[in-house]
Structure 1
Amino acid sequence: MNSFETLDWIVIVGYFVVIGGLAAWVISRKQKTTEDYFLAGRNIGWFVVGASIFASNIGSEHVVGLAGTGAGDKIPMLIYELHAWIVLMLGWVFLPFYIRSGVFTMPEFLEKRFSPGTRWFLSVFSLIAYVLTKVSVTVYAGGIVIASLLQIDFWFGALMTVILTGIYTVLGGMKAVVYTEALQTIVLVIGAGTLTFIGLDAVGGWDGMRSALEPGYLNMWRPPSDPDFPWPSLVFSSTIVGIWYWCTDQYIVQRVLSAKNIKEGRRGTIFGGLLKLLPVFLFLIPGVVALALKNRGELSWDTPDQAFATLLMAKMPVGLKGLVAAGLLAALMSSLASVFNSCSTLFTVDIYKKLRPETPDDKLLKVGRIATGIVVVLGILWIPIMQNISGVLYEYLQSVQSYIAPPIAAVFLLGIFHKRINSRGALTTLIVGMAVVFIRLSLELASDSLNPNSFLYAFGNVNFLTFSSWFFLFSILVCLVVSMTSAAPSAEQIKGLTFSTLSAEQKTENRASYNAWDIVFSLVVLAIVVYIMTSFTG
């Protein structure tokens, strides 16, 4: 494997200098209130909102994991990268309710719609979920990238990046996060796009790549009887995960909450949806190219998660290699910065401030920074356990998210679309859902010690996509039954928080927040999604 040369190091150092300068400029503009620190003063335009959505989503777990998916015979997982249409749902369906309510966090929205109990529960649930997925996976993937590229120890590389990212996130808040993410998006797209182009050229183009693969390798649609990726469960489960992740998760929604208004926020989601289509070409295709080259004896690696870095070091010329490496570092840093800021916001606004409502803003910011550090440590401690759950990083991420998503997605969807859903139904669904998640994870970890003929073994080993689909239907049923058998929420409590209780003025305001171009570009995103889905059929 070729190593970096002087020009590559100059490019990488240059990237850090520019990011550091941008972060320093933002930090110099002091944040005086929690709204400044956590939501960038709610004054961000559509371009930065969309770029921030993309950069937050595309972390090292995507760079490493999605390329590993392409190289590891898991092409059906591609469907998770075609969720651009669900990003549009955030802007067209959910965002108007969020912005009108003036909330900082998703748990805060649940309190307005249901009760303080649902806010408390989702706050704790979300923080635990970040440790199980975002923090640990991002740090782990970042460690793989840095260790592979810079030839240093895995843990040293991971911790170094965590510390560097944490410094500007803690000092600069949300504004530092979104502006650095806008720049990191540009670097990432240019760098990874260059690798895709050069990789395809090296393998002999699309036809050359396909000829080096097994027949049908690129088919993302497998029969319902497939033990790993039955297509009905894949479509249903991935949609549930997408609604939870893109429309209800603080990590993503916080980006659109920082928008100037509904119009800018919606346009940010449309732009973010367009950008979301890029990972198929930026990361998955390089993984497939790397596998094709390996089949021809031109590359070698131990695990699919090493495919992207191996292709980069073997095929990229001097200078461009440094550019792609800077893009990978950008992906890692942007995701870490986003999750740090989201954890800080959740703990500070939804937990500490609720316990001590008279706390001044300056102390709230200090508390959030300390909470972030604790979450990072817990995420790092979870990494060794995470490695036992799934052999491929990206599959691990989607499997855990498939357990977390159903109860939360059910509560938000029913809460907005069904005015009869009450706080008892919502809270019961979240509590039962949390119990099911931990039972499933515990049984999955302990499956080797269970009787293969027992119910517990079957429950812990049923296909994660099928499990997620039935879990969502179960969550819907729990929420409906409990709500319908208890008192209805008051008309005043749900006013303007469901579609059927919007006032005429709110409906008029919503119609005024978009024009024909917003509709056209949204339809373009949908058309591209359909095109890609029909292209990967063999």
Structure 2
Amino acid sequence: MEIFDWGVVAAYFVLVFGVAILATRRRKKSDSQDFFLAGRNAGWFVVGASLFASNIGSEHLVGLAGTGAASGIAVGQFEILAGLILLLLGWLFVPFYMRSGVFTMPEFLEKRYSEGAKFYLAIISIIGYVLTKISVTIAAGGIVFQSLMGLDFWTGAVIVVVATGLYTIWGGLRAVLYTDVLQMIVLLLGAVAVTVIGLQAVGGWSALRVEAGDAAFSLWRPMSDPEFPWTGILFGAPILGVWYWCTDQYIVQRVLSAHGLEQARRGTIFAAWLKQLPLFLFVVPGIIAATLAERGLFVLDSPDAALPTLVAQLLPVGFKGLVVAGLLAALMSSLSSVFNSCSTIVTMDIYKRFHEDASERLLVLVGRLSTAALVGLGLLWIPFMSRISGQFYTYLQSVQAYISPPIAAVFLVGILWPRASAKGAGWALGVGAVLGIGRLILELNKDALQGIWLTLAVENFLHVAIILFLVSFLVLVVGSLIFPDAEPEQDLTWHAVFRDGQAIPTKGRTRDIWLSLGVVAAVAVLWIYFS
């Protein structure tokens, strides 16, 4: 990092806080709807940019490049498929969410099923956010400061947590959304710089494809592949995608902030187009790094060192600062989003449940205090992170793959089948959780297992997700038939939501249909080209 690079990073921080201040000045009143949902007044560009920026964290960038360096572009399937799932969010799920008028996904489950379903999702979400998203993002921030900026790990981690916490506490979701727009732009500029300069160093796209080989540039792997089997990609990854993109508060809160259905839908379409970029901007740089390492230009200590090494070795003065700013943008947008989403669940689903008469002012105060508490937890967690193995974090992250199929089943069946009952949903969530935890226990003890138990322990997690989803689906359907609700939910059924064209406003509908078909066509082209 030269002086000019530091200047670029400093300019990034000034811009972020400037945008946050300007965004909060635009609010007309300080109430819970403004603090947690930006007054439900966000436009499609802001919604789409925030969806993309919140999803892409620094650990995401490092992980995609690292997996690309180790095993090629197959990991890009998750990014490509996300585009299709985002269309599902905009065209199918959002009309239900908008009609229900909810602040959170647990609140939607309460309206559709019961209070028990609400509390299950609320507790699972809070624990997952604190132990995985917040901790991993903080660690990534410390690593960025340490490896690329030469600062102490703890100093870097504290700077990231405090800086992000300040504007999130002050401005709520409105500040998060508008800073996400800036951070998306900075993130994409940094990624483009790395990719273009890397391709120049390797001799161009054609040279890279020849040198890396066809296997590295194939999106499709055999069913026996331990990481990305085609069966798991086509049938398992969409299940995890539905949970993450369509039912997770961390993501859905962005579309709930939109100014009406049209803006929400168009925001998801915009994000779907953006999600076709990571294959080229985040995965391909990993292959470039591996190729240049094979030539002996530099040494990769590990696959995950692909992106930092590429930045350090190839980028000229100024561009390093831009890429570091992009990495900071990625982790700060993710961290601010999880702070705000988690505080929304704590306030609206936990606190408000026991204080139904709480004033709007008090709810905003509780939201700010809970955000501050999350910042404090993040800071307290930092000293313990070095004592916990990377393997532990891997298993912790894999928990999401095991708890998400039953949640996806409960949401999908709930909006498509009016007879889905509260008891059926409770049984599905319970059975799914037990089976998911059982798989995790087997995975942790796989070295001591044999026979059928070993097979179950080592089966690809995407295949496990398929099984868990099908079991949860069957339990939900059977449970609903055996224990029907006295009065099936009518207000959130398919017919009620979509009657008279209310769910899909005519304004801009034709254009949005064509833009959505364009995303589908882009996915098809990528699948064919990289087959």
Mapped pair 1:530 → 2:530: no
How many angstroms apart in 1 are the aligned matches of 2:86 and 2:457?
31
How many angstroms apart in 2 are the aligned matches of 1:320 and 1:532?
29
| Aligned residue in 2 for 1:25 | 22
Please report how far the alpha carbon of residue 413 of structure 1 lies from its aligned counterpart in structure 2 after TM superposition.
0.4
Question: Contact 1:169 / 1:177 at 8 angstroms: preserved in 2?
Answer: yes
1:285-300 equivalence runs, <5 A: 285-300=284-299
Residue type of the partner of 1:220? Answer: L
Q: Which moved more, 1:144-153 or 1:405-414?
A: 144-153
Question: Contact 1:149 / 1:309 at 8 angstroms: preserved in 2?
Answer: yes
How many angstroms apart in 2 are the aligned matches of 1:92 and 1:291?
40
Q: What RMSD over aligned residues (CA atoms) do the two structures have, in Å?
A: 2.2
**TM-score normalised according to structure 1 size:** 0.92
| Aligned residue in 1 for 2:75 | 77
Please report how far the alpha carbon of residue 316 of structure 1 lies from its aligned counterpart in structure 2 after TM superposition.
1.0
Among candidates 468, 481, 485, match of residue 465 of structure 2? 468
Mapped pair 1:388 → 2:391: yes
Question: Contact 2:76 / 2:278 at 8 angstroms: preserved in 1?
Answer: no
How many angstroms apart in 2 are the aligned matches of 1:382 and 1:168?
25
**TM-score normalised according to structure 2 size:** 0.93
| Aligned residue in 1 for 2:499 | 504
Q: Cα–Cα, structure 1 residues 383 and 45, in superposed 2: closer, same or farther, change >3 Å?
A: farther
Question: Contact 2:49 / 2:180 at 8 angstroms: preserved in 1?
Answer: yes
| Aligned residue in 1 for 2:270 | 271
> Equivalent residue of 2:217, what SS?
coil
Question: Contact 1:429 / 1:478 at 8 angstroms: preserved in 2?
Answer: yes
> Equivalent residue of 1:494, what SS?
coil
Please report how far the alpha carbon of residue 365 of structure 1 lies from its aligned counterpart in structure 2 after TM superposition.
2.8
Question: Contact 2:208 / 2:288 at 8 angstroms: preserved in 1?
Answer: yes
How many angstroms apart in 2 are the aligned matches of 1:382 and 1:6?
31
Question: Contact 2:446 / 2:454 at 8 angstroms: preserved in 1?
Answer: yes
Question: Contact 1:419 / 1:500 at 8 angstroms: preserved in 2?
Answer: no
How many angstroms apart in 2 are the aligned matches of 1:153 and 1:325?
16
Please report how far the alpha carbon of residue 510 of structure 1 lies from its aligned counterpart in structure 2 after TM superposition.
2.4
Residue type of the partner of 1:70? Answer: G
1:52-201 equivalence runs, <5 A: 52-73=50-71, 75-82=73-80, 83-201=82-200
How many angstroms apart in 2 are the aligned matches of 1:529 and 1:276?
10
> Equivalent residue of 1:435, what SS?
helix
How many angstroms apart in 2 are the aligned matches of 1:134 and 1:255?
17
CA deviation vs aligned residue, 1:443-490 (integer Å, no higher than 9, x gap): 433444xx2226655443322122111111111111111111112452
Please report how far the alpha carbon of residue 253 of structure 1 lies from its aligned counterpart in structure 2 after TM superposition.
0.6
- Identity score, percent: 49
Structure 2: runs of 5+ lacking an equivalent: none
Question: Contact 2:187 / 2:325 at 8 angstroms: preserved in 1?
Answer: yes
Residue type of the partner of 1:96? Answer: P
Question: Contact 1:113 / 1:494 at 8 angstroms: preserved in 2?
Answer: no
Question: Contact 1:58 / 1:331 at 8 angstroms: preserved in 2?
Answer: yes
How many angstroms apart in 2 are the aligned matches of 1:90 and 1:190?
27
| Aligned residue in 2 for 1:490 | 487
Mapped pair 1:521 → 2:515: yes
How many angstroms apart in 1 are the aligned matches of 2:460 and 2:163?
39
CA deviation vs aligned residue, 1:485-534 (integer Å, no higher than 9, x gap): 1124524x332x121344734x3452425421111111111111111122
Please report how far the alpha carbon of residue 396 of structure 1 lies from its aligned counterpart in structure 2 after TM superposition.
7.8
Q: Which moved more, 1:424-433 or 1:153-162?
A: 153-162
How many angstroms apart in 1 are the aligned matches of 2:392 and 2:128?
15
Among candidates 41, 44, 62, match of residue 43 of structure 1? 41
Q: Cα–Cα, structure 1 residues 201 and 396, in superposed 2: closer, same or farther, change >3 Å?
A: farther
How many angstroms apart in 1 are the aligned matches of 2:24 and 2:263?
24
> Equivalent residue of 1:510, what SS?
coil
Question: Contact 2:87 / 2:272 at 8 angstroms: preserved in 1?
Answer: yes
Q: Cα–Cα, structure 1 residues 178 and 328, in superposed 2: closer, same or farther, change >3 Å?
A: same
Question: Contact 1:422 / 1:489 at 8 angstroms: preserved in 2?
Answer: no
CA deviation vs aligned residue, 1:159-187 (integer Å, no higher than 9, x gap): 32111101111111000000000111111
Residue type of the partner of 2:343? Answer: S
| Aligned residue in 2 for 1:5 | 2
Structure 1: runs of 5+ lacking an equivalent: none
Please report how far the alpha carbon of residue 87 of structure 1 lies from its aligned counterpart in structure 2 after TM superposition.
0.5
Residue type of the partner of 1:182? Answer: V
